[in-house]
């Protein structure tokens, strides 16, 4: 029987809709954006844009919140909320158990040393010595790497940008930019190119994974020496203190007094020959301003968004994280930093609109993790249990000494603690003929008794999935990779933190599975999206499959997220 024409049309449309990726509109499939602009704000807790919105203009955060699709209830579901973990989760749409980035560092058992997440001995930096940072570096993972080389080789899942390259047969231009190397490399993926800021030279660098030599425009940008232009200047407040929520809270004793930077405004950068000069730039809005200028130069010189083949630019802004470490989320410094970042975003969006057109650009902004409140700040509000935890005490407790005696181990049973893992002395355990699983369980059982420890889970239990079915245990399991994870995963109680970073005690640290560290914004804008605010639960793992579905490409290989229907349209 021949179907009526109208029925054949309906069946054809239904088949087309079923063939397309879930939620993909015909319009999106027919005409993809010319540019995908992915912005990651390091440590931007989900409530902070709204909290400080009184200081914002109309073209930055407000553009995203008021003219885009704003998801206000997005949380990561893995346990270790560190920089590389979140960036790669955004890039791949999956958890550390699949993409392999279990932490900023992990202990390589085969090589017997600490490994930095994106180190690669086969791909040296194009600028010699560019990985040498100051001894007082806030984030010690940069120093932990002994290898002069960087690449995305250790990422075990494909990224959205990889899938974009595959779909368009390598014709898409793909770039990642950040102050942090891991912030740039992670989202550029295997198929893109990445640039990051070297504190050693005060310029943007890359590795031989991407280029044999720098493009001429990069040489020209570095020759401008924009970082040196901050010499002799200071980070000053944008507005009168009365305009700020924390305008009367500038000097707090629990804030970090970084050498030469101080706890109060103005914060001097120092002279260009000061050994801490470039580090101070990254501890302030200056780091984001330099990133913006380089990103604009990249977009112009590489001709992004100038044809019908979609291009991709990832920009990861790092200053919010560094400022949070020194001063905390509830500080005058963090408030002013967000106000200045808002101006930076407005300038970026205006530049993209001028060069590509916002109607031709799909923008997404999120964060790699949130951040907690500083214990001292919580004490001011009467929350007394907040404190820092001394990890050196783990191997010195009488209970651990008793275990050493029980198993006949007279030397250090705990070899190291690298957030969030305890590493046991496996060689010594093997020499004593003791069962590894038995020792792991015994140590975990004792660690959980420590005041301030919420959970201690052995890798044997994780490997066998013999865990209670709770939110916390599922988050820890999502962080487990058998070749990279340590022997025991330690979770500290809410508002109990590690403060020692390479000998420098900082005000605030992140990395927990608690909601203040998992809570991030997810915002889509541009490309003709209709404004709306969405409060239903979503995850940052949804970002990559949403981008993939919007452009009609297959999702990353390990993706567990779902396309966000509010972005996809009807």
- Check which CATH number belongs to the domain holding 172 and give it: 3.40.720.10
Whether pLDDT at 8 is above 70: no
Residues 328 and 461 in one domain: no
Domain finish residue from 494, 529, 554: 494
Whether pLDDT at 196 is above 90: yes
- Taking the CA atoms of residue 562, residue 564, residue 568 and residue 570 in that order, the dihedral angle to the nearest 10 degrees is 110
Domain finish residue from 462, 494, 526: 494
**pLDDT given at position 14:** 31
Cα 79 to chain centroid, rounded: 14
Residues 443 and 547 in one domain: no
Pairing mode of beta strands 174-178, 113-116: unpaired
- Residue 3 belongs to some domain of the structure: no
CB 359 within 8 A of CB 528: yes
Mean pLDDT confidence for 418-442 = 92
- Residue 507 belongs to some domain of the structure: no
CA angle 291–293–294, rounded 5-degree value: 65
Residues 294 and 219 in one domain: yes
Q: What is the C-alpha separation between 517 and 112, in angstroms, rounded?
A: 31
- Residue 17 belongs to some domain of the structure: no
- Residue 106 belongs to some domain of the structure: yes
Cβ-defined contacts of 277-282 (< 8 Å, 24+)? 277/202, 277/230, 277/231, 278/199, 278/200, 278/202, 278/227, 279/133, 279/134, 279/136, 279/137, 279/138, 279/199, 281/202, 281/227, 281/230, 282/179, 282/197, 282/199, 282/318, 282/319, 282/322
Residues 357 and 259 in one domain: yes
- Residue 7 belongs to some domain of the structure: no
Residues 76 and 113 in one domain: yes
Full residue range of the structural domain in which residue 441 is found = 387-494
Structure confidence at residue 112 as a pLDDT band (50, 70, 90): confident
**pLDDT given at position 409:** 80
Cα 471 to chain centroid, rounded: 22
From the number of C-beta atoms within 10 Å of its C-beta (0-12, 13-18, 19+), residue 90 rates as buried
Structure confidence at residue 132 as a pLDDT band (50, 70, 90): low
What ranges make up the beta strands (E) of 350-475? 361-366, 387-388, 414-418, 421-424, 453-458
Joined tokens for residue 152: 């995305």
Residues 395 and 480 in one domain: yes
Residues 154 and 97 in one domain: yes
Calculate what percentage of the chain has a pLDDT beyond 90: 80
**Per-residue pLDDT reduced to its tens digit, 271-329:** 999 999 999 999 999 999 999 999 999 999 999 999 999 999 999 999 999 999 999 99
CB 252 within 8 A of CB 263: yes
**Count of the separate structural domains present in the chain:** 2
Write down the residue that tokens 């305009």 correspond to.
Answer: 243
Structure confidence at residue 137 as a pLDDT band (50, 70, 90): very low
**Per-residue pLDDT reduced to its tens digit, 511-552:** 999 999 999 999 999 999 999 999 999 999 999 999 999 999
**Per-residue pLDDT reduced to its tens digit, 208-242:** 999 999 999 999 999 999 999 999 999 999 999 99
Mean pLDDT confidence for 21-49 = 78
Q: What is the C-alpha separation between 374 and 506, in angstroms, rounded?
A: 9
**pLDDT given at position 393:** 77
Whether pLDDT at 384 is above 60: yes
- Residue 500 belongs to some domain of the structure: no
Residues 519 and 452 in one domain: no
What ranges make up the beta strands (E) of 276-386? 311-317, 361-366
Structure confidence at residue 500 as a pLDDT band (50, 70, 90): low
Residues 441 and 527 in one domain: no
CB 196 within 8 A of CB 179: yes
Cα 40 to chain centroid, rounded: 7
Residues 99 and 171 in one domain: yes
The SS3 assignment for 510 reads: coil
11 vs 562, residue with greater confidence: 562
Question: Facing residues of 175 across strands?
Answer: 193, 313
- Residue 316 belongs to some domain of the structure: yes
Q: Tell whether omega for the bond before 420 is within 30 degrees of 0, i.e. cis.
A: yes
**pLDDT given at position 248:** 96
Report the Cα–Cα distance between both ends of the chain, in Å, rounded: 33
Mean pLDDT confidence for 404-431 = 86
**Per-residue pLDDT reduced to its tens digit, 551-567:** 999 999 999 999 999 99
Stretch (H or E) spanning 70: strand 69-75
Please choose, from the candidates 453, 393, 458, 446, the residue with its C-alpha nearest in 3D space to the C-alpha of residue 422: 458
Mean pLDDT confidence for 456-472 = 93
The SS3 assignment for 493 reads: coil
- Residue 239 belongs to some domain of the structure: yes
| Strand ordering across the sheet containing 311-317 | 203-205, 193-198, 174-178, 311-317, 35-41, 361-366, 519-526, 69-75, 532-534
**pLDDT given at position 398:** 78
Mean pLDDT confidence for 177-205 = 97
Q: What is the C-alpha separation between 272 and 203, in angstroms, rounded?
A: 13
Residues 61 and 122 in one domain: yes
Residues 89 and 232 in one domain: yes
Q: What is the C-alpha separation between 183 and 82, in angstroms, rounded?
A: 11
């Amino acid at each position: 029987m021949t179907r009526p024409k109208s029925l054949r049309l309906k069946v054809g449309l239904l088949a087309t809709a079923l063939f397309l990726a879930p939620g993909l509109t015909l319009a999106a499939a027919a005409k993809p954006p010319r540019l995908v602009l992915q912005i990651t704000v390091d440590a931007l807790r989900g409530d902070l844009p709204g909290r400080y919105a009184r200081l914002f203009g109309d073209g930055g955060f407000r553009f995203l919140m008021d003219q885009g699709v704003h998801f206000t209830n997005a949380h990561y579901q893995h346990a270790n909320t560190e920089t590389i973990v979140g960036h790669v989760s955004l890039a791949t749409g999956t958890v550390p158990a699949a993409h392999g980035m279990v932490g900023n560092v992990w202990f390589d058992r085969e090589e017997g040393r600490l490994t930095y997440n994106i180190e690669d001995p086969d791909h040296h930096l194009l600028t010699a010595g560019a990985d040498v940072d100051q001894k007082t570096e806030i984030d010690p993972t940069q120093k932990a790497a002994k290898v002069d080389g960087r690449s995305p080789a250790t990422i075990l899942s494909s990224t959205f940008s990889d899938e974009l390259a595959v779909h368009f047969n390598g014709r898409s231009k793909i770039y990642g930019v950040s102050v942090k190397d891991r912030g740039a490399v992670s989202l550029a993926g295997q198929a893109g190119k990445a640039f990051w800021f070297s504190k050693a030279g005060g310029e943007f660098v890359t590795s031989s994974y991407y280029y044999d030599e720098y493009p001429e425009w990069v040489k020209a940008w570095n020759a401008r020496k924009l970082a040196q232009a901050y010499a002799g200047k200071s980070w000053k407040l944008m507005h009168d203190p009365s305009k700020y929520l924390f305008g009367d809270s500038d000097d707090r004793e629990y804030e970090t007094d970084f050498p030469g930077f101080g706890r109060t405004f103005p914060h001097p950068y120092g002279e260009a020959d000061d050994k801490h000069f470039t580090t101070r730039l990254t501890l302030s809005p200056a780091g984001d301003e330099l990133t913006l200028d380089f990103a604009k130069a990249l977009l112009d010189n590489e001709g992004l968004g100038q044809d019908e083949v979609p291009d991709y630019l990832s920009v990861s802004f790092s200053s919010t994280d560094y400022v949070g470490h020194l001063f905390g989320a509830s500080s005058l410094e963090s408030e002013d930093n967000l106000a200045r970042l808002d101006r930076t975003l407005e300038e970026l969006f205006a530049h993209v609109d001028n060069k590509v057109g916002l109607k031709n650009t799909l923008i997404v902004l999120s964060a790699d993790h949130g951040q907690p409140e500083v214990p001292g700040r919580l004490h001011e509000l009467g929350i007394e249990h907040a404190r820092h935890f001394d990890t050196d005490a783990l191997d010195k407790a009488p209970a651990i000494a008793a275990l050493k005696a029980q198993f006949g181990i007279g030397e250090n049973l705990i070899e190291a603690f690298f957030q969030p893992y305890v590493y046991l002395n496996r060689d010594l355990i093997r020499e004593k003929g003791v069962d590894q699983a038995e020792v792991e369980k015994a140590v975990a059982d004792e660690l959980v008794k420590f005041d301030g420890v919420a959970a201690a889970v052995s890798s044997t239990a994780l490997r066998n999935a013999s865990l209670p079915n709770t939110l916390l245990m599922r988050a820890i399991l999502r962080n487990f990779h058998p070749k990279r994870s340590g022997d025991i995963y330690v979770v500290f109680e809410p508002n109990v933190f590690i403060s020692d970073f390479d000998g420098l005690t900082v005000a605030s640290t992140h990395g927990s599975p608690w909601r203040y560290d998992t809570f991030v914004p997810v915002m889509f804008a541009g490309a003709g999206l209709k404004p709306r605010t969405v409060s239903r639960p979503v995850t940052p793992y949804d970002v990559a499959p949403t981008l993939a579905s919007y452009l009609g490409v297959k999702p990353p290989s390990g993706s567990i997220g779902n396309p966000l229907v509010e972005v996809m349209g009807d």
